[in-house]
Chain A
Amino acid sequence: MGDKSGDLVQGTLDMLILKTLALEPMHGYGIAVRLEQMSKGVFRLNAGSLFVAFQRLQRDGLIRSEWKATENSRRAKYYALTEQGRKRLNSETREWGRQVAAIARILEAS
């Protein structure tokens, strides 16, 4: 099975989706492909976890959705970052950086 989302640190999927959407609005498959590309194939996500995350983010008001035509003139739901989502992404990125640096320091110390 190609599901490697389990390898993701708990709670980081939301952050990654927000990051992906920071560039431009995208549809679900686009997000999945982009995440795989950017991680060089480390993260491969199954539809279930991805769409649960979409639902959650949308309910929290961090992203919004809209039906639009794709480049292949197929109908798809496009997700876009809201203002609140942008703020959340910034704060989470900062927090992530802090934590990673702290963990790195601990690991190097030993």
Chain B
Amino acid sequence: MSLLRNMASGLRSLFRKEQVSQELDEELNGFLDMAAEEKMKQGMSRKEALRTVRLERGNLEGTKEVVRSAGWESFAEACWRDLRYGLRLLRKSPAFTAVAILTLALGIGANTAIFSLLNGLALRDLSVPHPEQLVRFGAHVPGDDYAALSLPMFQELSRSQKVFSGTFAWWPDIVFDAEIDGSLARADVWGVDNNFYRELGVVPEIGRLFDSEDENLSANAATQVAVLSYGFWQSHYGGAADVIGKTLKIDGIPFTIIGVTRKGFTGLSAYMEMGVTLPLPARQLFGGEADMQKYLQRRAARWLQAAGRLRPGVTLEQARAQLGSLWPEIRQEMVPPDKTFADLGRFRYLQLKVESGASGEASLLRKRFSQPLYIVLAISGLVLLVACVNLANLMLARAASRSHEMAVRAALGAGRARIVRQMLTESVMLSVAGTLAGWIFAHWASHAISDFILGEIYSVPAALNLAPDWRILGFASGMAILMGVLFGLAPAWRATQEDPNVALQHGSRTLGKGTSRLGGRLIVAQVALSLVLLMGSGLFVRTLKKLRDANPGFRTHSLLDVSLHPKPNGYKDLDLVNYYRQLIDRIAEVPGVESSGMMRAIFGNVLEWTERIRITGSDAEGLEADFEMATPGFFETAGITLLQGRRFEWQDDDHAPGVAIVSQNFAQRLFPNDNAIGQRLDVMNARNWRNLKIIGVVSNASLYDIRKAQTPTVYLPSTQYKDFMGWPELLVQTSLPPAAIADALRRTVESQGREYVFSIKTVRQNIDRSILQERVTAMLSTFFGALALLLAAIGLYGLMAYAVTQRTREIGIRMALGANRSGVLRIVLREVIVLVGTGVGIGLPCALAVTRLINHMLYGVSPNDPVTLAWVVGALLAVGLLAGYLPARRAMKVDPLVALRYE
């Protein structure tokens, strides 16, 4: 109540100033008159009385001022005056204002953009009700991130636990072909149980979501119904309401659409909508086991993701403890009946992983990009610091040219706090304006980077949630204020240090002192910061270069990777060996094709296939080796050379004895003294892959991760393992550009009637994709490094130019006394070199300390790589000299006559 009244009264004095002031005038006049009349009654003359009253009670104007400044509104008014004054000043120097705002916009914008990405990727909660209650759980082998459960495991855990109010399970996305109204499209397909939508608080946009009838775990066949995501509905059905009841064919199997989820629902993923969701058991329709009950009751097959919602008051720790205590018994129950020694061993290691599900799943993206983004955020933070130092210097120069004004203000009685406030108002104003401009830049940049990264990785639409939330708003506004205060503080501090007497009397008549001490220190700091930054980005760029030049042991040019997918029912009743033999023959006839063969994996793919291999008959631990299945033609096409023995032939089919080809380093590891050819191998985790005869030794290669040193590798012929033949990657060696040959390849595949071309990429593209995080890091840090260098150059230039202006008179005298031009040049450049040199001296140890922290992100370069170091120091010196040379040249041209007449 009284606060309101206070506000109202204050506002009245602000906005009805005239009236309030008149009232006060009248009241005070009355007061003083009455007091004077009293005195006159005692016999004083009017003049005398008035004088006495003034002495006793204070004079009119003074009192008015005291009364007026007692309320809060006078403070507000002073701030408002500061604002207007600041605005006027900034308008008067548009160039300075523009440079300052632009610098801040770039700096703050870049930081906000990176922070938004990080926020969307790793920090922000899912947009479902009470995301903090979500807890995910699954069984995993320690050291392996993949955690999942079989349906019996999930059911058993759900039944026994007391920590969750509800649990739900789903199987993660598989990209299938969907036939929508007769045309084929790519669909991201998920399966969920009937608790899934309810527990996540999802409501349908139209239609309905799954209920227990749709799920029906005890039936003999899955109910064929589907729920679409909002995005899928919009892009494939144009958002038409009559989609309900329509049929959608997924991998040839029809599903009836029953509903659409609301916009923005991304399930438990942080960045991907669940395009099409099916009832949990529908997974069985897509292959393997024909009996659905058998499929669902598999006790050891971990194919489900699971999560629960914590009961009120239960913590994650409690949930972890309870589930953990239930687990050993459940694990024991789940041991498959037809157990092998290896299976048992693996089972014993299964542990329950229980973790918060609040921020959703982004495991792949999060794992690859969180750390690079934190590093880039640190880098952009450094750039912002450099920008801040720059602005501080600019402000300092401005403050110097305003020292006269400040001196007058101080002489007229403005307090130190008042002057500091005035300066800070200006700088905060600038930084707020910069932040607003930066906000636009951040919005654009974060979307561009996110689209770039996700577009490279995913074939289905994906988007990080980059919408501003309290974290981003807090981050940006915090930065705006911090920057404003930081770069406003230096000049403000300086302004209060000056003795008004000195400033007023001497003005600019003294001999110049060269660059100001504070300004010089700021430049040194800037050079040091830039050095750290440039060192970092230099190392990232060199890492990328090394990765690009790395020899993975297979052909990286003139090689296409053609992903083949079956048409609906394409593999039904098909002799895959014969089919692929024909297909490869046909492909070889396409003009421009030099050779072709097939493999299962994609070169450089993060999902690697490794197996433990040992010599048949030995009971050794075995050797962990990269593993791959390939057809005849693969080695020639991939450019992996045969060193000994023979390659796979089409005759190596399932009637022939099992064979294998190993890499040279594998042969050396397992058979250091013997010839590997003819030796026998077992794949330990597969029951039937035994007693494989080595028929060839090939050159080393790192198929899956080009960052790794070439690892021992074992190849099996896919012709002997028909289950692994479908969905192949067809490698085509050709010197034609992909666009020139793509159509012919597509036609050839289509003409067989079984498969179609899912995508055509060059192997180079796939490898580039596999080093995406290095590319993004190098790209962003180069941008920031260049920005820092530019800022440092501008800062140095500004400082030297200012110093030269200040010393025009001194230089004039020197020249009049006989100094020659090169002497003047020397004076100026010496100062530049001292500044840059000091900066380098300070920055160097800092850089070496900091780069050690990013050592694990580097490839092929050491954190104190002398080449990078030399480049960075050279670049800084060159830029410094250039920035210093321009003002120095001006100094050389000073005409002593003009300079001395100047004042």
Contacts and interface: CB of A to CB of B under 8 A. Distances in A.
Interface of A: 1-3, 27-29, 32-33, 44-49, 51-52, 55-56, 58-61, 74-77
A33 to B, nearest CB: 8
Contacts of B1: 61
A29 B9 contact: no
Interface stretch (B50-58, B224-232, B339-347): B50-58
Contact of B66 (A28, A45, A48, A59): A48
A48 B63 contact: yes
B323 to A, nearest CB: 60
Interface string B25-54: 011101111110010000000000000000
A58 B56 CA distance: 25
Given A27-B30, A46-B57, A76-B30, A61 B66 contact: no
Contacts of A52: 66-67, 70
B58 to A, nearest CB: 4
A96 to B, nearest CB: 21
B56 A2 contact: yes
A77 B56 contact: no
Given A29-B30, A52-B67, A55-B70, A46 B58 contact: yes
13 contacts: A3-B56, A44-B56, A46-B56, A48-B62, A51-B67, A56-B70, A59-B5, A59-B10, A61-B5, A74-B33, A75-B26, A76-B30, A77-B23
Contacts of B63: 46-48, 51
The 9 residue pairs across chains A and B that have the minimum distance between CB atoms: A48-B66, A2-B56, A29-B34, A52-B70, A46-B58, A47-B63, A59-B6, A48-B63, A51-B67
B70 to A, nearest CB: 4
Given A3-B58, A47-B63, A77-B27, 6 more contacts: A46-B56, A51-B28, A52-B67, A55-B9, A55-B70, A74-B30
B62 to A, nearest CB: 7
B577 to A, nearest CB: 94
Nearest to B60: A47
Contacts of A44: 56
B28 to A, nearest CB: 6
B510 interface: no
Interface of B: 1-2, 5-6, 9-10, 23-24, 26-28, 30-35, 38, 55-58, 62-63, 66-67, 70-71
B70 A29 contact: no
A1 B62 CA distance: 15
A91 B70 CA distance: 26
B488 to A, nearest CB: 33
A31 B178 CA distance: 90
B40 to A, nearest CB: 13
A59 B71 CA distance: 10
Contact of A58 (B9, B55, B57): B9
Nearest to A53: B70
A26 to B, nearest CB: 12
Contacts of A3: 56, 58
Residue of A3, A49, A51 with highest tally of chain B CB at under 10 A: A51
B28 A47 contact: yes
Contacts of B66: 48-49, 51-52
B657 to A, nearest CB: 100
Contact of A1 (B5, B27, B55): B55
Nearest to B33: A74
A29 B53 CA distance: 12
A59 B28 CA distance: 19
Given A27-B30, A29-B31, A76-B27, A55 B56 contact: no
